[in-house]
Structure 1
Amino acid sequence: MTLTAPTSVTARSLAPDLARGLMLLLIALAHAPAFAGDWSAGPAALDTAAKFVKSLLADNQARDMFVFLFGYGLGQLAHRQEARGGDWPSTRKLLRRRAWWLIAIGFANTVLLVPIDVIAVYGLTLLVLAPLVRARDSVLLWTSVLTLVPATLLLAWQSVAAQANPVTMAEFMEPTFGAHLVASIPSWPVETVLSTIMVVPGMLLGIWAARRRILDEPERHVSLLRRVTVIGLAVAVAGRLPAALLAAGAWTIPSTSAGWAVAVAHDLTGYVGGIALAAAVGLVAIRARSGRLTTALAALGQRSLTFYLFQAVLWMVLFYPFTLDLSGDVGFAATSGIAVGVWLLSLLLADWMRVAGYRGPAEVLLRRLSYGRR
């Protein structure tokens, strides 16, 4: 069996890294308000605006962009292994070993830091669906389409429940770190298993796109990227606007069926919007080949796992009762501002790491665990 070495930083493609860097901003905006004790604690106008932006741009769209890019990375990995002479049995073994370690890292993130995790979900999905990494295009596309239905319904069910009874993480925070360590363990397996269905459609489309090197060579796919960006973002805005207006308090759901319709439209078009945002970054990457912001954003994307965990560390430090305990002092708009601040800090740290020659510690660890020392 043949297993080739991982890709060096200098050999990486720009567009996927830029997309991952932007994705971390959307993830921060999606997660940070969950730690506010009272969403109405801040100025009403700012809270309203922040809720609208979060619902329109981040909720069930940031994750979908993340999922698409995760699948794209899997496709890149499989392509590199094949191009360098790696055989499928060794590649499959690598993917499954990587999957087990992602599950372990996700479990540690949930238990030690905050119970908002997608890493283990990605790991479990990869573990189960590793053979699809080399499946025919038709299998990828049909599986993506067929799983989109249960995935959307599961997301919509969560959204409808949130409409009826909005809650925040603050209600479930334990008073001590010891209690926090054990609080999430009982529910973690079920939540992880149920969440896998949500990531399958975007992940498989990401693998399909990677086979065509759509983000690796965006200049060869300008027409496709433009169509996906324009049509995808238009569909996403149209489908997600009603839920955003609802979140902002601009109108009230007249019936249960209307609530379901709004939730389904919001969550279904989140998949479209997540992919469209990645396509938009691909277009930007064609022209943004240099510049300080481009370089810093790419550096952040190259260390996306590290800074995803970095966000979790800061959420714990800032909001939990046994640390700074700010959850009772901030509202929706304030936590959204904190999210932007955390992302900007991540951007600066990632650029500093680039200049200093430091790779992301989480990426280094995952590579060593997956490939072994090289």
Structure 2
Amino acid sequence: MLLLIALAHAPLYLYGSQPGIMSRPESVHFLDNIINSFGELFIDNRARPLFAVIFGYGLVLMFESQLSKGKNIKEAKRTIRKRSYYLILFGMILAVFIGGQDILMAYGVAGLLVGWLLSRDHKVFISATVIVTVLFLTYLPFLWGFILQEIGSYGFGTEFSQNDNYLQSLLEAALYFPIVPIFIHLLFPILPSVLIGIWFGRKHLLTEAQKQDKKLKRIASFGITISILGALPIVLIDEVWVPSLFLTGFIYGIQIITGTAGGIGYAALFGMIGNRLKNPNRITTSLTALGKRSLTFFVLNETLLVLLLSPAAFGLGDRLSNTGVTVIAIIVWGLSVILATILEKHQMKGPLETLMRSLVYNR
């Protein structure tokens, strides 16, 4: 998950490159083109839903944990709300003071919006999930069609420029950060992904993967297939066809929506893989160590990308191509794996996980 997020965010710092298709930079050479196509098929708008599914699953685990400790439903919901508020705070610090590509605020808001459903019966939960999902399916492709028509280009470009400095970036982020999660929720179907994650959690699809292997296999096959088919038209733009701006935005909305199926499919696939790994080895132990500390290392990864790529720091985003920033993203993630392994070896929790627990539980 963290690798996919790093690979999705790194190209956003390429302020020295021309816009390509959507959030992707223009390809400079053949390898860039391969990386862009791979990203459009398997990463863009697929890493975010995966994070959202895992977040929704985590809400269920947290809620059930509180009930098992003797807390009543009201107290358990209060804990969920408290953690959601602190996620928003952590995301604000990341976005404003570090300048990273934040999603923590959006998930904090999602926790506040869907937390009430954790105690509702199956019928109410399914009804809410269907209504929210249909709403996004109805308006999202048209919204992106109008957005792209207004932009007047296939690509969005980047928010960075060569003349940016830290103080300027901080002031702009401080001004705009309150509306960032609103726009994220408006433009991307995070809530349906979180709700599907809650459904996963209610069914214990990942924590009881041995019992659910056939179901996980069906979900993974269906979700990833839908995801690839939904992304394929975007990959073929400028290669096979040249659609109008509105149509391009419309099919980008389809790519985003089918990315939700991709995130769900990835979660199921990783559940299947985990179920088949009977004997932990050094690699799986290291990945597990990173997963236990995902909040800490998400923030660290975003911080390192800012330091290495943004114009306010080392400015490599002005000199590298898409291939270069892809290598940077993999190296940053690899460093996180190594650091997480060291923490696990010394039985040390992630610093931000420790801080979050102390804030939420007053420890």
TM-score in same-fold range (> 0.5): yes
* 2:88 maps to 1:97: no
* 2:107 maps to 1:122: yes
Give every structure 1 segment of 4 or more consecutive aligned residues whose post-TM-superposition deviation is greater than 6 Å. Answer: none
The residue that corresponds to 1:27 in the other structure is 5
Residue 70 of structure 1: which of 33, 55, 70 is its match? 55
* 2:122 maps to 1:134: no
**How big is the shift at 1:41?**
7.9
Residue 364 of structure 1: which of 329, 351, 354 is its match? 354
Distance 1:314 1:156, change over 3 A: farther
**How big is the shift at 1:126?**
1.4
The residue that corresponds to 1:218 in the other structure is 209
The residue that corresponds to 2:257 in the other structure is 268
| TM-score between the two structures when normalised by the length of structure 1 | 0.87
**AA of the residue aligned to 1:221:** Q
**How big is the shift at 1:167?**
0.6
Distance 1:143 1:356, change over 3 A: same
* 2:106 maps to 1:84: no
Greater mean deviation of Cα atoms: 36-45 or 188-197: 36-45
Gap regions ≥5 residues in structure 2: 19-24
* In 1: Cα distance, 2:319 partner to 2:185 partner: 35
* In 1: Cα distance, 2:282 partner to 2:336 partner: 15
Q: Is contact 2:286-2:340 (8 Å) kept?
A: yes
| TM-score between the two structures when normalised by the length of structure 2 | 0.90
Residue 278 of structure 1: which of 252, 256, 267 is its match? 267
**How big is the shift at 1:265?**
2.3
Q: Residue 170 of structure 1: SS of its match in structure 2? A: coil
Q: Is contact 1:141-1:205 (8 Å) kept?
A: no
The residue that corresponds to 1:5 in the other structure is none
Q: Residue 316 of structure 2: SS of its match in structure 1? A: coil
The residue that corresponds to 2:230 in the other structure is 239
Greater mean deviation of Cα atoms: 250-259 or 153-162: 153-162
* In 1: Cα distance, 2:240 partner to 2:124 partner: 42
Question: How many residues are aligned here?
Answer: 348
Residue 288 of structure 1: which of 264, 269, 277 is its match? 277
**How big is the shift at 1:257?**
4.9
* In 1: Cα distance, 2:176 partner to 2:163 partner: 15
**AA of the residue aligned to 2:79:** L
**How big is the shift at 1:177?**
1.9
Residue 185 of structure 1: which of 174, 198, 203 is its match? 174
Residue 52 of structure 1: which of 37, 45, 56 is its match? 37
**How big is the shift at 1:322?**
3.2
Distance 1:348 1:156, change over 3 A: farther
Q: Deviations over 1:266-301 (max 9, x none)?
A: 111101010100100111111214111111111111
Greater mean deviation of Cα atoms: 252-261 or 224-233: 252-261
* In 1: Cα distance, 2:253 partner to 2:313 partner: 38
Aligned-pair RMSD on alpha carbons?
2.1
**AA of the residue aligned to 2:226:** V
* 2:336 maps to 1:346: yes
Task: Tell me: higher relative CO, structure 1 or 2? Use CA pairs within 8 A at least 6 residues apart.
Answer: 1
Residue 175 of structure 1: which of 146, 150, 164 is its match? 164
* In 2: Cα distance, 1:170 partner to 1:105 partner: 22
Overall identity of the aligned pairs, in %: 29
**How big is the shift at 1:261?**
4.1
